[in-house]
Structure 1
Amino acid sequence: MREFIPPATRFVDLPTEFVMKSGGILHGARIAYEDFGRLNAARDNVILILTGLSPDAHAASHPDDPTPGWWEAMLGPGKPIDTDRWYVICVNSLGSCKGSTGPTSLNPGKGGPYRLEFPDLSMEDIADAAAFTVRALGFERLACVIGVSMGGMSALALLARHPDLTRSHINISGATHSLPFSIVIRSLQREAIRFDPHWNQGRYDEESYPQRGMIMARKLGMITYRSAQEWDSRFGRARLDPDRRTGEEPFGLEFEVEGYVEFHAHRFLHCFDPNSYLYLSRCIDRFDLGESCGGTADEALSRLRLEKALVIGVQTDILFPLHQQRQIATGLSASGADVQFLSLESEKGHDAFLVDVDRFGPPVAKFLSVDW
């Protein structure tokens, strides 16, 4: 087991005893973050970014780490999230393996990683850790919280639990809860990992690693991150070149789309931890904003305190379908916030916010460019 920490990562120590929703307690935990841009004299130009399941805090290149970040095209000088104007903090989620405390981290007093002794993780825990981080950095009021995918969920949890922390919100491909289709897909992903004999109840290492389970889990995920339209237009029924096929293996890879998914699943093997995958995946399934707030999701949204919000969804998203973003926009409007809802046409599916910058960039830039 190991962590995957970008070189420019910074850290904030959580309280000595960080109490989690389940009642579990983390001792000596930390949150990883990176920052971008410059803080202005009034200290009122701060944006917080909450990520999806697997990204680290390195959202974009900067002098301390010039390698491209996971949202490189959206964040930086002159880009839609313009660091010539905004000071941006991106945090790595609690429970991850990319700097923040998670199952791969050292369990104090145990002499080894937490593994499955890591307490049950919730979206509320992720939100509380992020809120603590920005306050520890000296900020009591943010200009905006941006949440993408899973980060859209943790952002809603943060808004509900820390109502005065931000003036505005951008929710991209998020949801108030997971739908049955998404839950069952993630259940299969977890099953693929758990049923790999090398998983060994979470006690794997580099020599005995649940490689096959992780590959299958990632493949299942990739199917939901993109759309059938993109698979059709991008690959059609094209076959792999003979030298890229799997030898004499019966029923092996034959089509280009199979090769593409296989390649990217293998890449994922070496940049994410299986136990972190299990914890974060289950945390997504369990989250329900309404339940968290003691009512319905619509009631919870109507009680959030924001000046304005931008909610964006994609028509081809099958993981967090468009009607879930519409629900967020309608609920936030009921709270009295000035809300803009955008339904974007992109064949890229759920992952469109990562790759379809021509569509996502302009509305985000416009939302953030208005004088506040």
Structure 2
Amino acid sequence: MTEFIPPGSRFIDLPSPFPMKRGGALHGARMAYETWGTLNAAGDNAILILTGLSPDAHAASNADDPSPGWWEAMLGPGKPIDTDRWFVVCANSLGSCKGSTGPASVNPDTGALYRLTYPELSVEDGADAAVHVVRALGIERLACVIGNSMGGMVALALLIRHPGLARTHINISGAARALPFSIAIRSLQREAIRLDPNWNNGDYDDDRYPESGMRMARKLGVITYRSALEWDGRFGRVRLDSDRADEDPFGLEFEVESYLEGHARRFVRRFDPNCYLYLSRSMDWFDAGECCGDGRAHSDADTRRALASIRLDRAMAIGVHTDILFPLQQQQEIADGLAAGGTDARFVPLESPQGHDAFLVDIGRFGPAVAGFLADL
């Protein structure tokens, strides 16, 4: 078990202690981040990108790390997020294993890995940590905060808890709260990991590692990241060329099964299981209506009031019709809630067949929407 830190990562220390929303605090914690472009003299051209659960801070190639990033087609000179104009910061999520302090990090108080002694993690903690990155870089106000998937949740928490930090917002396939279907899927993913005997209540190593649990968790996730339309068009009912082995009569038979297996095996040793559990649960707990006040949302109206409390010049919420994990009504809720508070907010539903992951791959649809919004700033 180890952290997986991109070679171009930079680090900012968090205040010590760093208090967590649900109790406890981190000591000697840090955030990993990367940047592109140049902050102008006025300091008003900064964009913050907040990621989904598993990505690192390496959203695109840069001088410190020329390898392609997870949003390479979207970010760079002349691209939809044009780094010839914008100074872009991407922060790795607090609780991750990609450089920011998480359960796979060493607890400086004990010299041992945090594992399950890591404090309970909330989306709001990630928002507060990202704000420290922004402030440490000398940015007083962001031109825009862009949040994808889980990052859309973090962005909303940031905007509620830190009023005035950003002029505008783009929420991509995000949500103001977790829905029962999404909670159910993530609950099954966590159960798959916890029921693997090698998880051992979070105390595992590279030799005794919960690989089967992580494989199942990742497969469940990948199934929900794409749509039924995408799976059918990509694989159909095509069978594998080789016959099933007699000793494995219920083994892989269809190409879609082989794809899921290969994808899962590439992932399981590249993301720490405990970090996965903490980040996954933080998404289930999130409701924008809990970000302030007594910490509990009592009704749908609390969520709507929380969104309406955000003060922005402009905002855009983008989603796709085929997203079953963060369905389109959640982006509609964000846009409507922001508009109710006086923000010039647009809801942009896209027809991409690629489900929740469309923002990563369908740049032909997402790119023009993002570029058009930023061009008007």
* TM value normalised by structure 1: 0.98
Higher alpha-carbon deviation: 290-299 or 96-105: 290-299
Q: Distance in 1 between matches of 2:44 and 2:260?
A: 43
1:337 aligns with 2:343: yes
1:289 aligns with 2:283: no
* Aligned positions of 1:1-372 closer than 5 A: 1-242=1-242, 248-294=247-293, 296-370=302-376, 372=377
**Contact in 2 for aligned 1:239/1:255 (Cα 8 Å):** yes
Q: Match of 2:85, as an amino acid?
A: R
Q: Give the 3-state SS of the residue equivalent to 2:59 in structure 1.
A: coil
Could you say if the C-alpha distance between residues 273 and 247 of structure 1 is closer, same or farther in structure 2, counting changes exceeding 3 Å?
A: farther
Note the C-alpha offset of 1:247.
Answer: 6.4
Higher alpha-carbon deviation: 33-42 or 144-153: 33-42
Note the C-alpha offset of 1:246.
Answer: 5.9
Cα deviation digits, residues 303-358 of structure 1 (max 9, x gap): 10100011101000000100010000001111111111110001100000000000
Q: Give the 3-state SS of the residue equivalent to 1:199 in structure 2.
A: helix
Cα deviation digits, residues 163-219 of structure 1 (max 9, x gap): 110000000000011111110110000000000000001000001100000000000
Cα deviation digits, residues 126-178 of structure 1 (max 9, x gap): 00000111101111100000000000000000000001100000000000111
Q: Give the 3-state SS of the residue equivalent to 1:113 in structure 2.
A: coil
Any unmatched runs of 5+ in structure 1? none
Q: Give the 3-state SS of the residue equivalent to 2:266 in structure 1.
A: helix
**Contact in 1 for aligned 2:4/2:271 (Cα 8 Å):** yes
Q: Match of 1:349, as an amino acid?
A: G
Cα deviation digits, residues 229-257 of structure 1 (max 9, x gap): 011111110001207x5663120000000
Q: Give the 3-state SS of the residue equivalent to 1:68 in structure 2.
A: coil
**Contact in 2 for aligned 1:246/1:253 (Cα 8 Å):** no
Q: Distance in 2 between matches of 1:179 and 1:12?
A: 33
Could you say if the C-alpha distance between residues 24 and 257 of structure 1 is closer, same or farther in structure 2, counting changes exceeding 3 Å?
A: same
Q: Distance in 2 between matches of 1:193 and 1:241?
A: 31
Cα deviation digits, residues 252-305 of structure 1 (max 9, x gap): 000000001111000111210000000000000000111223451110111101
Could you say if the C-alpha distance between residues 276 and 247 of structure 1 is closer, same or farther in structure 2, counting changes exceeding 3 Å?
A: farther
**Contact in 1 for aligned 2:52/2:151 (Cα 8 Å):** yes
Any unmatched runs of 5+ in structure 2? none
* TM value normalised by structure 2: 0.97
Q: Distance in 2 between matches of 1:274 and 1:169?
A: 31
Q: Match of 1:267, as an amino acid?
A: R
Q: Distance in 2 between matches of 1:145 and 1:222?
A: 26
Note the C-alpha offset of 1:42.
Answer: 1.4
Q: Runs of 4+ in structure 1 displaced over 6 angstroms? A: none
Q: Distance in 2 between matches of 1:324 and 1:80?
A: 24
Q: Distance in 2 between matches of 1:180 and 1:207?
A: 36
Q: Distance in 1 between matches of 2:102 and 2:63?
A: 28
Q: Match of 1:335, as an amino acid?
A: G
Count of aligned pairs between the two proteins: 370
Q: Distance in 2 between matches of 1:290 and 1:246?
A: 53
Note the C-alpha offset of 1:43.
Answer: 1.3
